[in-house]
């Protein structure tokens, strides 16, 4: 089954490797006996679903969650069941890929115009004259 990420982009279930580990946090004594935390591994470097641009940005966005080999590791331990933690890990991976696929808006650097620079200087001169006026009254 495919996991939908964006229109035209989905991941095959077989690309995800999920293992379960012991979790800390809520769960009482059950937390010491049952491996409920889900650890999801996704090999972004070799994934056929990702374009080269998305792959490079994904590894950048993932930060410390990405290994040197290009594998993204997400550990989910927020919930008390394996199933909910697995769903949480998959959703967090999908959000990471969505963020990587988003193209930031191209921004053209602009400079203030001549009139804006003049207004700024006029304002500074005005403040300076006010302060000079205070200094003259100082007895």
pLDDT of residue 136: 66
Asked, for residue 27, whether it belongs to a domain, the answer is yes
pTM above 0.75, yes or no: no
DSSP 8-state assignment for residue 20: E
Q: Is residue 72 exposed (0-12), middle (13-18) or buried (19+ Cβ within 10 Å)?
A: buried
Count of domains forming the chain: 1
Give the separation between CA 51 and CA 129, rounded to whole angstroms.
Answer: 61
Contact present, 23 and 30 (Cβ < 8 Å): no
What string of pLDDT tens digits covers the 139 residues of the chain? 777 777 778 777 788 888 888 877 666 677 777 788 888 888 888 888 888 888 888 888 888 888 888 888 988 888 888 889 999 999 998 898 888 888 888 889 999 999 999 999 999 999 999 998 888 665 5
Helix extents (H) in 1-139: 30-33, 52-62, 82-101, 114-136
User: Rg of the chain over CA atoms, in angstroms?
Assistant: 27
Q: What is the CATH number of the domain that holds 21?
A: 3.30.160.20
Asked, for residue 115, whether it belongs to a domain, the answer is no
Supply the range of the domain harboring residue 81.
2-101
Asked, for residue 135, whether it belongs to a domain, the answer is no
Asked, for residue 119, whether it belongs to a domain, the answer is no
């Amino acid at each position: 089954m495919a996991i939908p990420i964006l229109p035209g982009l989905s991941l095959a279930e077989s690309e995800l490797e999920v293992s379960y580990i012991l979790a800390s946090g809520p769960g009482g004594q059950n937390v010491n006996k049952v491996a409920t935390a889900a650890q999801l591994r996704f090999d972004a470097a070799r994934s056929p679903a990702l374009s080269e641009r998305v792959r490079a940005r994904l590894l950048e966005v993932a930060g410390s969650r990405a290994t040197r080999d290009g594998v993204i590791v997400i550990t989910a331990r927020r919930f008390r069941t394996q199933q909910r933690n697995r769903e949480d890990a998959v959703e967090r991976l999908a959000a990471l890929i969505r963020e990587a696929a988003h193209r930031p808006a191209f921004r053209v650097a602009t400079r203030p115009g001549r009139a804006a620079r003049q207004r700024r200087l006029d304002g500074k001169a005005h403040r300076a004259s006010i302060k000079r006026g205070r200094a003259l009254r100082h007895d």
